[in-house]
Structure 1
Amino acid sequence: MTMRVGVLLNPIAGFGGTLAMHGTDLLAADRFADAVAAGRSSRRLVRALETWQARGGAARLVSAPGLLGADALRSAGFDARVDVVEEATGPTTRRDTLAAARRLIADGIDALLFSGGDGTATDIAEAIGLAVPVIGVPSGVKMHSQVFSRSPEAAGRLLAELTAGRAWDETADVLDAAADGSPGVIAALRAARAGEPLQGAKGGSSAPSDAGERRAIAAELLRASGPATTWIIGPGTTAAALADALGVAGTLRGVDVRHPSGAVELDVDEERLLAVVSAAADPRLVLGVVGGQGFLLGRGNHELSPRVLSALGADRVSIVATSSKVATLVPPVLYIDADDGLGGEPAGSRHPLLGYRRVRTGARQTTVLNVVDAAA
């Protein structure tokens, strides 16, 4: 029998990542059309399905209606059957996502492919529980949950294995941000699995030595800097140790700038970062690693786009991670999940940080890790 795969997307997922917005849960109604037009979630869904199709994937696609899936599939040329679900008359909300997911289950799908972020995964878990295996196409801003593939292409390869009967599923945690911004387990879904692993759940550093290592890393960075250094401080606790050493009350989840004058800019967006990098005499970026996942870029730091990195130069980027965080990386590599076209760079461009890079892990301690494209 031909497998029936439900397709559902959050049409505004990922909007505002480069604008220093940390998700779309509280997106103003007058920005909805802009978010849909940006189309990040739909493009990444199509990339996953194109990979699946290129690998000979055979299944019946059963799509949620309109902006929730059918529009994207039709514009990409996929033969999708649209379920009869009441169309929203205005901007879609989580209620529409919940209703569409439940209707897809009632229609008898065998699996669900969805495109969005942690908020979308949370909604789907509420709607369907453990009814069918799911594959998450990473399209949001954070994506801390275990249900996401490492890239749209990885999701497409996993879907090909699933529809060919060569995959299994297991219960996986759905994480979303708590009030303080830290991820916590919200629910669970049945995540499809095959030979290619999914991303892990985001984890923090908890070894007793971590706090000391973070302070030592910050001290080493300051010793190697000068009075003209403009510090660009990425998200995360390891990079935040530098902010503490500089006397900056950073945002932790955002990208902050500390100028040579002592002036500070918090939660800076991509356009402003590009201007800062272009004008600074000695700009330096401190970039942490997402614990448990190994992501360097593409998870919660979209402001650090390829064009910002190209303007900065790879030699001005300090990658930092405690030794315990590095020890948990399986495999021991770092990932970049760049958006379509490498964020405005010419087609076929190589991301400036790909390849073997030195990672500072403590006082006079470094290791070398390979930074790879998550799509490969």
Structure 2
Amino acid sequence: MFRLGLIINPLAGVGGSVGLKGSDGEATAKKALALGAEPKANLRSQQALEPLKGLEIELITYPGEMGEDCARVAGFDPQVLGAIKQGHTSAADTERAAREMAALGVDLILFAGGDGTARNICHAIGDSTPVLGIPAGVKIHSGVYTVTPKAAGEVVAMLVRGELVTLADQEVRDIDEEAFREGRVRAKYYGELLVPEEGRFMQHTKEGGREIEELVLDDIAADFTETMEDDVRYIMGSGSTVQALMEHLGLDNTLLGVDLIENGKLIGSDLTAQQLLAMTEGRKARLVITVIGGQGHIIGRGNQQLSPELLRRLGRDNIIVVATKSKLKELDGRPLIVDSGDVELNHQLSGLIRIITGYRDAVLYRVADY
């Protein structure tokens, strides 16, 4: 029987919806919760366990919010190790859980978190035991995560069924959150983890340091501004491509946050999920987002402020995607990805989507349903 370890960082990603751009450290997590953030890591882990129902799996986990609760909701009767202080888990708990599961000889450790959690796992066990990450963090630059939670379950299911899946070392990277909050990305290499690879499902390490195609960005900005409508609130997502649109409009921009504009004026900066809902309530609104280079995500990486409730309110037709063709070519044919945290919504947003790639120039590109 396949022995699967499950570790959940219950506070992973909690800072995303309230614009904190990370959740590392107890103080940041407490601040996020005080601002009204709701932990989502257990829900995302349930989505990952869904494809595993009915398979012969011995599930080994940690108590309560670190895995046991999620496993039981998903219909498993897990073996529970260790002890935790409910509501006050830490990186030390994650590392201890990883070491204990590795010592038991589990076939794979499935863990939910972000780059900070991957660092903890790497520090605890290195590449001694195969692992696989369920994406639940705000920032995910490491190559150990699948593109969505459901995809993690699909990869594990392949392993349980005995299908051929390659194991390979993948980089663990994390960024300086304080610099990130100031709009600067400083990614650092922390080691490698042994990960089952399945190209459709695994996240590619984010590209960085590419030369900005200024002329193309100017063309994209010109096309967008020509089509803007009066009395419509435009939600401006994160990233350098959207930043180029804001610069074209002569407006200040939060590079790694979400802003709101209307009638050529900035009316909200670095907004949280709740602020976006409040400021678009009863108003005509559109969302402007771009593609994360090398990964292909348009929702769910660094823009958790764009909640499922907001996306449903807007509707697919009010989502504007902008990207250079070179950024799309970097995907090498891989589809775009929506990882909203809501499986049904991911499905609704899948299919072909129009992407503005220049002045009066657009392409249709596929959004996957993972």
The two structures have a TM-score, normalised by structure 1, of 0.86
Q: 231, 241, 244: which is aligned to 2:244? A: 241
Change (3 A) 1:115 1:6: same
SS at match of 2:336: strand
SS at match of 2:317: helix
- Measured in 1, the distance between the counterparts of 2:52 and 2:206 equals 27
1:45 maps to 2:45 = yes
Q: Percent identity, aligned pairs only?
A: 36
> Which residue identity does 2:267 align to in structure 1?
V
> Which residue identity does 1:158 align to in structure 2?
V
Which residue does the alignment assign to 2:267?
A: 264
Q: 79, 87, 98: which is aligned to 1:101? A: 98
> What are the residue-to-residue correspondences of 1:82-93 with 2, within 5 Å?
82-83=80-81, 85-88=82-85, 91-93=88-90
- Measured in 2, the distance between the counterparts of 1:49 and 1:259 equals 42
- Measured in 1, the distance between the counterparts of 2:327 and 2:287 equals 20
Q: 124, 147, 152: which is aligned to 1:150? A: 147
SS at match of 2:368: strand
Given that 2:50 and 2:74 are in contact with CA atoms closer than 8 Å, whether structure 1 keeps it comes out as no
1:356 maps to 2:358 = no
Q: 122, 135, 139: which is aligned to 2:119? A: 122
The two structures have a TM-score, normalised by structure 2, of 0.87
Given that 2:18 and 2:32 are in contact with CA atoms closer than 8 Å, whether structure 1 keeps it comes out as no
Which residue does the alignment assign to 1:367?
A: 363
Change (3 A) 1:316 1:49: closer
Q: 50, 54, 60: which is aligned to 2:58? A: 60
> Which residue identity does 2:338 align to in structure 1?
I
Q: 210, 223, 226: which is aligned to 1:223? A: 226
- Measured in 2, the distance between the counterparts of 1:157 and 1:89 equals 30
SS at match of 2:281: helix
> What are the residue-to-residue correspondences of 1:1-376 with 2, within 5 Å?
2-28=1-27, 30=30, 38-54=38-54, 56=55, 58-83=56-81, 85-88=82-85, 91-166=88-163, 167-178=165-176, 179-181=178-180, 182=185, 184=187, 185-194=189-198, 196-204=200-208, 206-207=210-211, 210-260=213-263, 262-280=265-283, 283-340=285-342, 351=348, 353-374=349-370
> Which residue identity does 1:98 align to in structure 2?
E
CA shift at 1:150, angstroms? 1.7
CA shift at 1:82, angstroms? 1.6
CA shift at 1:268, angstroms? 1.0
Single out whichever of 130-139 and 25-34 deviates more from structure 2: 25-34
> Which residue identity does 1:136 align to in structure 2?
G
Single out whichever of 129-138 and 74-83 deviates more from structure 2: 74-83
- Measured in 2, the distance between the counterparts of 1:4 and 1:261 equals 57
Change (3 A) 1:373 1:194: closer
SS at match of 1:214: helix
Given that 1:175 and 1:183 are in contact with CA atoms closer than 8 Å, whether structure 2 keeps it comes out as no
> Which residue identity does 1:309 align to in structure 2?
L
- Measured in 1, the distance between the counterparts of 2:126 and 2:247 equals 42
> Which residue identity does 1:369 align to in structure 2?
Y
- Measured in 2, the distance between the counterparts of 1:37 and 1:271 equals 9
Change (3 A) 1:249 1:263: closer
Change (3 A) 1:37 1:276: closer
Single out whichever of 113-122 and 262-271 deviates more from structure 2: 262-271
Query: What whole-Å deviation, never above 9, does each CA across 1:51-108 have from its counterpart, x for those lacking one?
Result: 1224x3x23222123332223223433121122x343376011121112212222222
Structure 1 gaps of 5+ residues are 344-348
SS at match of 2:265: coil
> Which residue identity does 2:243 align to in structure 1?
A
> Which residue identity does 1:192 align to in structure 2?
P
Given that 2:62 and 2:83 are in contact with CA atoms closer than 8 Å, whether structure 1 keeps it comes out as no
- Measured in 2, the distance between the counterparts of 1:17 and 1:90 equals 19
- Measured in 2, the distance between the counterparts of 1:23 and 1:32 equals 9
CA shift at 1:355, angstroms? 2.5
> Which residue identity does 1:138 align to in structure 2?
P
Change (3 A) 1:128 1:35: farther
How many residues are matched?
362
- Measured in 2, the distance between the counterparts of 1:36 and 1:19 equals 8
CA shift at 1:149, angstroms? 1.2
- Measured in 2, the distance between the counterparts of 1:207 and 1:104 equals 44
